[in-house]
Structure 1
Amino acid sequence: MTPHTDETNGTSGVHTTPPLPGLWLTGISSQYPPYLLGPEKLDEFANRFFDVEKPGLKKLLQINKTSGIETRASIGDYQSGFASRPEAPSLNDLDTFYRRAGVDLAAQACRKAMREWGGRPSDITHTVAVTCTNQGNPGYDLLVARRLGLPHTVDRMLLHGVGCAGGLAIMRAAAQIASGATSRSKPARVLAFACELCTPNVRHDLAEAEACADPADVSIAGVLFADGAAAFVLCNDIGLEQPPHDDGDGDGDVRDRAEPLFQLLEWGNGTIPDTSQYMGFYAEGTGFRTVLTRDVPAFTKTAIGPMFSQLVPSFREKVGLDTLGVPDFDWALHPGGEAIIHGAQAMLGLTDEQLRATREIYRTRGNSSSPTVLAVLDLLRKMGRGKDHVVATSFGPGLAIEMCLLRRYREE
């Protein structure tokens, strides 16, 4: 970057800005469990255990038919395991199950992202993880790290309390870690991952709906949330250069360079004042109580534009394009529900093409909370050349909004 005139420093009056540090996504993946359940499966399940004529549950099952989700990714088939017992699973049951099945799913996502990155487990310097469907200590991130054979010295961070915003919260944290490593002239190869198992909580969701006397107050969590995991590897410039290693050909050590997929150039987060009562997730003796009111879409759709306007001037400067606006980006929008997708599209004037990956993930997999926006980003890059620039945005309890602005890596 060229020098520019700045306030005098007492000598030349010229201030030289440091070069723009590179933050690169070099591998990204999503991993869903094997079952895809249509709306009729939830109807059958509810009829086995609950009074479906109760006003709250009746309303929920009506929403189930019109949610826009054709199939939800599920760790189980609603026929066996917790779904077949007379009693609902306890919080202890959910914890034990997650720390087996959730760790397996997260490790699968991580291996896929690491294969695309091309490095070795021993080259990972940091991990950043998130979940809201497990609260165990030590965190599940340690179990995943062990499963992957990461070094015992890997620098670990586990986020909690961010819900559906978690996928981009770990991207923000990874970016801050990598930027800090750059300032210390150290490599950063950050493995970040998110995993949620929401469907094992379905008995609790349906019981809450059955007990809800006013259909207008029913939480739609039971017909919305799915299971899934996602992961990515983010490197700084120094971390793009792999440590030397012996490739076994007898010629000595070689050094590889990871090929980027996206460059992360801007990110931000914030909370919408006086909205924390509209979304929440709380541990109870018989499961997790989800608060998700119909007020959420109205607030989230009005928060996206201001956050984008806050971040895009700096992004324009970094890419050298002064007129970039909403139409110039593909949008990896967290598919929090049909009303959120429609509201954001109408508010920003987005085309169906800009939201193609968001709609496809929502239609075929549902909302798996924190990994979902990363799954959208993973799918988006596989849906043709697309636009050069991408906005990823998600929302969570708080109400919180996360946003990242990326540039696709194009080889000239």
Structure 2
Amino acid sequence: MSTPVGLISLATAQPPHELPQADVAEAARGVFRDRFPQFERMAPVFESAGVRTRQSAMPMEWYLQPRNWPERMEAYTAAAVDLFTRAARGALDEAGLTGGEIDVIVTVSSTGIATPSLEARAMGALGFRPDAARVPVFGLGCAGGATGLALAARLAAAQPGCRVLFVTVELCTVSFRMDEPSKADIVATALFGDGAAACVLRSGEDGFAQVEGVAEHTWPDTLDIMGWRVDPQGLGVIFARAIPPFARKHLRPAMDAMLSAQDLAVPDVDRFVCHPGGMKVIEALEGSLDLGQGALDHERQVLSDHGNMSAPTVLYVLDRARRVGLPRRSVVTALGPGFTASTVTLRAA
């Protein structure tokens, strides 16, 4: 980037309810076996997904009852504001800042609808100034962690001295559905969890890493790969095409182009920090980027401990990577609906 931007802090937050994968599989069998004839054939996904446990906004019993739109959004709003506040406060504390010192708040969330948006609802608790700019973003899905970080960096670069707080909150479990189960619903039940992450960015050379560049690539005619459909009961997950084979085949040319625009190539990257969409996605990323099997170790651990939390997940991976020591250059990358790859290139401090 033409103006240096420092990544000053990074914090994560989890909801209170633990969902061990074995318990989820047992509950899913009780719910889906009689409603979805192919359930037993798909049941091994609970073992192969790479998820050991994950956290949820509501206790498991809540998901076993039919829920409508108002109930889902009431649960989303209450839990999302709590997670937003805790993640943001963690990032502010690490940065040595108060909410009143933040100039811009970027909020990314695609698993619920809250108007006023989450940062407005958290303004009082976090002490944001009345003149702070609010930038709520919806629809990025799993790419939102990388895309939101890139947007926050661009805003910090645009106004020297500007302090930007980026918060992403996703409550994927609020959309678990029992009414008309599909293969996509079974996969979602095996993979998704809830979580939040927050970062503070500021123009300048300080921070644990500097943003060197940002890029996106959206493939044409891929709207059906992943997303939401809107039903009377709530949001319904769309997985119309398998993501792992698409990533294995198409990610490398797109990554080459995105890095080339920054005068870089894949061998110049010491560590890819990837969104772990699932175990098969991790393996596809390793294959496409020639990383070697097992290279994405932090990604596997985050998936095991938290599931796929959508947008915040890649920031959980970045947090693990920076705690053991970021290499000289890393690229934060995530895939999401669009179908889009988003990247943020970082240089360690």
- TM category, shorter: over 0.9
**Amino acid across the alignment from 2:278:** G
The structure-2 alpha-carbon separation of the partners of 1:222 and 1:305, relative to structure 1 and needing over 3 Å to count, comes to same
RMSD: 2.2
| Corresponding residue for residue 10 of structure 1 | none
SS in structure 1 at match of 2:323: coil
Query: Are 1:61 and 2:8 an aligned pair?
Result: no
1:109 CA displacement: 0.7
- Measure the CA separation in 1 of the matches of 2:134 and 2:114: 15
2:155 equivalent among 156, 172, 177: 177
Once residues 261 and 316 of structure 1 are traced to their aligned partners in structure 2, the CA distance between those partners, rounded to angstroms, is 23
Give, in whole Å, the separation in 1 of the partners of 2:142 and 2:43.
Answer: 23
Q: CA deviation at 1:22?
A: 0.9
CA distances 1:304-342 after superposition (whole Å, capped 9, x unpaired): 32333234345458xxxxxx6437421210001111110
Tell whether 2:193 aligns with 1:191: no
* Residue matched to 1:229: 196
- For residues 56 and 145 of structure 1, the distance between their equivalents in structure 2, rounded to whole angstroms, comes to 47
Shift in Å, 1:144:
2.4
Shift of 1:164: 0.6
Quickly say closer, same or farther: Cα 1:147–1:371, change in 2 above 3 A.
same
Of 282, 285, 289, 1:348 maps to: 289
Q: How many residues align?
A: 349
* SS class of match (2:238): strand
1:92 aligns with 2:70: yes
TM-score using structure 1 length: 0.79
Work out which of the two has the higher radius of gyration on C-alpha atoms and give 1 or 2.
1
Cα deviation, residue 53, structure 1: 7.0
Contact kept? 1:56, 1:218, Cα under 8 Å: no
Alignment of 1:334-373 (within 5 A): 334-351=275-292, 354-373=295-314
Conserved in 1, the CA contact under 8 Å of 2:66 and 2:179?
no
Q: Bigger shift: 281-290 or 157-166?
A: 281-290
Aligned ranges for residues 134-149 of structure 1 at < 5 Å?
134-149=112-127
Q: Distance in 1 between matches of 2:236 and 2:133?
A: 32
Contact 2:331 2:345 (C-alpha < 8 Å) held by counterparts: yes
C-alpha displacement of 1:126: 0.2
TM-score, structure 2 normalization: 0.92
Secondary structure of the corresponding residue to residue 277 of structure 1: coil
Counterpart for residue 266 of structure 1: 213
Q: Deviations over 1:47-98 (max 9, x none)?
A: 444434732433443311221111122223313xx236xx412111111111
Distance 1:128 1:327 in 2: 30
Query: Which AA in structure 1 matches 2:145?
Result: G
Partner of 1:404: 344
1:183-222 aligned within 5 A? 187-202=161-176, 204=177, 206-209=178-181, 212=182, 220-222=187-189
User: Is this contact kept in 2: 1:281–1:289, CA < 8 A?
Assistant: yes
Q: 1:299-314 alignment to 2 at 5 Å?
A: 299-313=246-260
1:371 to 1:377, Cα distance in 2 relative to 1, 3 A:
same
Report the Cα distance in structure 2 between the residues aligned to 1:56 and 1:189, rounded to whole angstroms. 51
With over 3 angstroms needed to count, the CA separation of the structure-2 counterparts of 1:26 and 1:386, relative to structure 1, is closer
C-alpha contact 1:298 1:343 (8 A) present in aligned 2: yes
Q: Retained in 2: the 8 A contact 1:221–1:292?
A: no
Give the Cα separation in 2 of the matches to 1:366 and 1:191: 25
Which 4+ runs in 1 deviate beyond 4 A? 313-317
In 2, the alpha carbon distance for the partners of 1:386 and 1:23 equals 17
- Which residue identity lines up with residue 58 of structure 1 in the other structure? E
CA distance in 1, matches of 2:151, 2:263: 22
Is the 1:361–1:376 contact (alpha carbons within 8 Å) kept by the matching residues of 2? yes
Structure 1 residue 193: deviation in Å?
0.5
Contact 2:216 2:258 in 1 (8 A): no
Question: What is the CA-CA distance between 1:122 and the residue it aligns to?
Answer: 1.2
SS in structure 1 at match of 2:60: coil
Instruction: Flag the 1:386–1:172 CA change in 2: closer, same or farther, 3 A.
Output: closer
The alpha carbon displacement at 1:196 in A equals: 0.8
Deviations 1:10-38 (A, max 9, x none): xxxxxxxxx94111100111112233322
Q: Secondary structure at the match of 2:159?
A: helix
Question: Given the alignment of the two structures, is residue 121 of structure 1 paired with residue 93 of structure 2, yes or no?
Answer: no
- What amino acid does structure 1 have at the position aligned with 2:108? V
Which consecutive unaligned segments of at least 5 residues does structure 1 have? 1-18, 241-258, 318-323
**Residue pair 2:98, 2:127 contacting (<8 A) in 1 also:** no
Whether the aligned pair in 2 keeps the contact of 1:266 and 1:314 (CA below 8 Å) is no
Change in Cα spacing, 1:151 to 1:360, as seen in structure 2 (3 Å) is same
3-state SS of paired residue (1:381):
helix
Of residues 256, 276, 281, the one that matches 2:223 is: 276
